[in-house]
Amino acid sequence: MYDALLNRLIRRLEVDTAPLSEQERDAIASLPLTIRDVAADQDIVREGERPSQCCVVIEGFQCRYKMLRDGERQIMSFHVPGDIPDLQSLFLSTMDHSLGTITPNRVAFIAHEPLRKLIRQQPGIAERLWRETLIDASVFREWITNVGSRDAYTRIAHVICEMYVRLHAVGLTNGTTFQFPITQTELADATGLSTVHVNRSIQQIRADGLIVWERGVCTIPDLKALQDAGMFEPSYLHMRGNVAA
Amino acid sequence: MYDALLNRLIRRLEVDTAPLSEQERDAIASLPLTIRDVAADQDIVREGERPSQCCVVIEGFQCRYKMLRDGERQIMSFHVPGDIPDLQSLFLSTMDHSLGTITPNRVAFIAHEPLRKLIRQQPGIAERLWRETLIDASVFREWITNVGSRDAYTRIAHVICEMYVRLHAVGLTNGTTFQFPITQTELADATGLSTVHVNRSIQQIRADGLIVWERGVCTIPDLKALQDAGMFEPSYLHMRGNVAA
DNA sequence: CGATCCTTTGAGCGAACTCAACTCGGGTGG
DNA sequence: CCACCCGAGTTGAGTTCGCTCAAAGGATCG
């Protein structure tokens, strides 16, 4: 199995818990994978489908979303390398939302069959994967709070903080600078705001010196200040010991 | 083990999957339980705590919520009999939110220790419990959509539809009438609206003949109409075959 | 039969929305 | 290689949905 991916997966599954045993690592390493490149703005899996595989992000950004009757799109999460965004399909056979790429992606597919076998044989891995889905759920809860209780400015600052911390955790930051190839329209769909209002709010955040964000690259001059502005507390990410200072 | 509770739990774990084996049922039945009555408006477990047990709702309503710095409360889900609202604490040691009662409750506590042992011995049960937490996550996603993309009227109608369907699934409806002991303030905290606006929206929904809701009892004269008004599609509840018509 | 919580109503205000147009940068095809 | 085109970002102006503040009715419960 693809080495960098394997290491990233193992590192991820060990966050805030005991290290995996040799046997467990081997079991993961021997999972059959299909690596594939996917262009930007493509669906990996769509609402209503019954996928027979899970997807691990190797490179690129993805998002989960639902399309509403009125044509509106609600993005419910962004996904970055190391994430397994449709792990829930292992036990919820029909997708209740879609998963799509934002940028060009490299992804690894793992078929449900061998994965089910793996978790039966290695309950320790099952529990860590379960834990991953529980962290997903925790992030969803935080997003409910975000769209339900915070104003536009705070809401956007919060999402940026989250993305920074998650990217940092997988080594995709350089100081407080990181690739952030999300359009303002996507950010609007994620925060439940109009693009116009997102634009004006971002300008305000920029004017306050909290971010520099141009052409898909974002820098946070003062992380503490941005976290305050976004009412951001990383505990909901359950990355203890692995959170950016 | 408390018979009614046991049957409810078993029925719940069998929704949309194969029946449990005799052995699995016995394993569940032999779990040590502590039954307790809890008054209304009490916390079962608080953000920041590290619980050593899970809670099964036997009677009453609960909600998960977060308190924000500014004193605002965001409710992220309601819970009804049969739910295990803090199951995630089995693998996420620190609570990222609080769980409290809305009405007086009867609850059963199951200590983490025997539960962990059970799921190691009975992977089939582990997977069904995992599935429960995945459905939770699905509901959270729907709530992100609800607060992010729908106007007040639709949002409230949607929550009422969800509660109806979930209560129906556990046999707590009588036709389309059900106990719905949520205050408008709680509904406001759940939908990210002000109580005043919730009140006016409810009056509108009432005036449109979609609900009759007085003194904690709600009737839905025309379920289809309310579902349309709330843009409600029950698929996200993953109750196939068990959904109210 | 108060006390208290919940619901309801009125009035003014403001955050976020819609619609519309303009700019800018990068890609592409003639 | 340049002109065009298209998507993303930006700006302006007017509108609206939902908010705040305040106070008055109901219901429920010691």
pLDDT at A17: 84
For CA atoms A149, A151, A152, A154, give the dihedral sign: negative
Looking at residues B163-174, what average pLDDT do you find? 94
Mark yes or no for CB contact A133/B136 under 8 Å. Answer: no
Mark yes or no for CB contact A96/B236 under 8 Å. Answer: yes
Facing B141 at nearest CB: one of A97, A131, A142? A97
List CB contacts of A71: < 8 A, sequence separation 6 or more.
none
Any bridge partners for residue A110, and if so which? A54
Write out the two tokens for B232: 């409600």
List CB contacts of A137: < 8 A, sequence separation 6 or more.
B88, B133, B136, B137, B140
This model's pTM is above 0.75: yes
In chain B, CATH 1.10.10.10 sits at 151-242
Query: Right CATH number for B2-141 from 3.50.50.60, 3.40.220.10, 2.60.120.10, 3.40.50.300?
Result: 2.60.120.10
B115 touches strand C (CB under 7 A): no
**HEC-encoded secondary structure of A211-238:** CEEECCEEECCCHHHHHHHCCCCHHHHC
Q: Which residues of A touch B143 (CB under 8 A)?
A: 140, 144
- Over residues B63-106, the pLDDT tens digits come to 999 999 888 999 999 999 999 999 999 999 999 999 999 999 99
Mark yes or no for CB contact A68/B149 under 8 Å. Answer: yes
A197 touches strand C (CB under 7 A): yes
Q: Can you give the distance from the CA of residue B74 to the C1' of nucleotide D21 in angstroms?
A: 22
Nucleotides of C under 7 A from a protein CB: 5-11, 15-20, 26
A vs B, Cβ pairs < 8 A, gives 125
DSSP character at residue B96 = S
Q: Can you give the distance from the CA of residue A25 to the C1' of nucleotide D7 in angstroms?
A: 45
Q: Is the pLDDT of residue A242 over 70?
A: no
Over the Cα atoms of chain B, what is R_g? 18
In whole angstroms, give the CA distance from residue B18 to residue A240: 37
What are the backbone angles phi and psi of residue A55, rounded to the nearest 5°? -120, 130
- Over residues A111-164, the pLDDT tens digits come to 999 999 999 999 999 999 999 999 999 999 999 999 999 999 999 999 999 999
For residues B73 and B41, the answer to whether their CB atoms sit within 8 Å is no
In the numeric block, the tokens 């009555």 are attached to B37
For residues B235 and A49, the answer to whether their CB atoms sit within 8 Å is no
Instruction: Provide the 10 A C-beta neighbour count for residue A108.
Output: 21
Mark yes or no for CB contact A74/B131 under 8 Å. Answer: no
Residue A57 buriedness (CB in 10 A; 0-12 / 13-18 / 19+):
buried
Q: Is the pLDDT of residue B241 over 90?
A: no
Q: Tell me what percent of the residues of chain B surpass a pLDDT of 70.
A: 97
Looking at residues B197-208, what average pLDDT do you find? 97
What are the backbone angles phi and psi of residue A131, rounded to the nearest 5°? -55, -40
pLDDT at B1: 58
Collapsing DSSP to helix, strand or coil, B120 comes out as: helix
List CB contacts of B22: < 8 A, sequence separation 6 or more.
none
Which of the residue ranges A178-182, A194-198, B13-17, B152-156 would you say has the lowest mean pLDDT?
A: B13-17
pLDDT at A70: 86
DSSP 3-state percent helix, strand, coil across chain B (nearest 5): 45, 20, 35
Q: Is the pLDDT of residue A240 over 80?
A: no
pLDDT at A55: 96
pLDDT at A58: 94
Facing B140 at nearest CB: one of A69, A137, A192? A137
**HEC-encoded secondary structure of chain A:** CCHHHHHHHHHHHHCCCCCCCHHHHHHHHCCCCEEEEECCCCEEECCCCCCCEEEEEEECCEEEEEECCCCCEEEEEEECCCCCCCHHHHCCCCCCCEEEECCCEEEEEEEHHHHHHHHHHCHHHHHHHHHHHHHHHHHHHHHHHHHHHCCHHHHHHHHHHHHHHHHHHCCCEECCEEECCCCHHHHHHHHCCCHHHHHHHHHHHHHCCCCEEECCEEECCCHHHHHHHCCCCHHHHCCCCCCCC
pLDDT at B245: 45
Q: Is the pLDDT of residue A9 over 50?
A: yes
Q: Which of B17, B91, B235 to mutate to test the interface with A (most CBs of A within 10 A)?
A: B91
- Residues in B whose CB is inside 8 Å of some CB of A read 16, 64, 66, 68-69, 72, 74, 76, 88, 91-92, 94, 96-97, 119-120, 123, 126-127, 130-131, 133-138, 140-145, 147-150, 191-192, 231, 235-236, 238, 240
Specify the higher pLDDT residue, B77 or A15: B77
State the nearest Cα–Cα gap between B142 and chain A, in angstroms.
9
Q: Is the pLDDT of residue A67 over 80?
A: yes
A124 touches strand C (CB under 7 A): no
Instruction: Provide the 10 A C-beta neighbour count for residue B126.
Output: 21
Looking at residues A44-69, what average pLDDT do you find? 96
Facing A91 at nearest CB: one of B130, B143, B235? B130
- CA-based nearest residue to B192, from B155, B227, B220, B217: B155
> Please, which pLDDT band fits residue B242 given cuts at 50, 70 and 90?
low
Report the protein residue whose CA lies nearest the C1' of nucleotide D27. B215
- For Cα atoms B82, B91, B189, give the angle at the middle one, nearest 5 degrees: 55
Helices B123-149, A112-121: axis angle to 10 degrees equals 130
Q: Tell me what percent of the residues of chain B surpass a pLDDT of 90.
A: 87
Q: Can you give the distance from the CA of residue B79 to the C1' of nucleotide C2 in angstroms?
A: 35
A195 touches strand D (CB under 7 A): yes
Q: Can you give the distance from the CA of residue B87 to the C1' of nucleotide C23 in angstroms?
A: 53
Looking at residues A217-232, what average pLDDT do you find? 96
How many whole angstroms from its chain centre is CA B40? 16
Q: Is the pLDDT of residue B244 over 60?
A: no
A104 touches strand C (CB under 7 A): no
In whole angstroms, give the CA distance from residue A180 to residue A213: 8
Facing A235 at nearest CB: one of B94, B134, B142? B94
With CA atoms as reference, the chain B residue closest to A86 would be B134
Facing B149 at nearest CB: one of A136, A150, A192? A192
How many whole angstroms from its chain centre is CA A74? 15
Q: Which of A96, A127, A240 to mutate to test the interface with B (most CBs of B within 10 A)?
A: A96
Write out the two tokens for A63: 């998002």
In chain B, CATH 2.60.120.10 sits at 2-141
In whole angstroms, give the CA distance from residue A160 to residue A42: 23
CATH class assigned to A151-242: mainly alpha
In whole angstroms, give the CA distance from residue A130 to residue A150: 30
> Please, which pLDDT band fits residue A6 given cuts at 50, 70 and 90?
confident
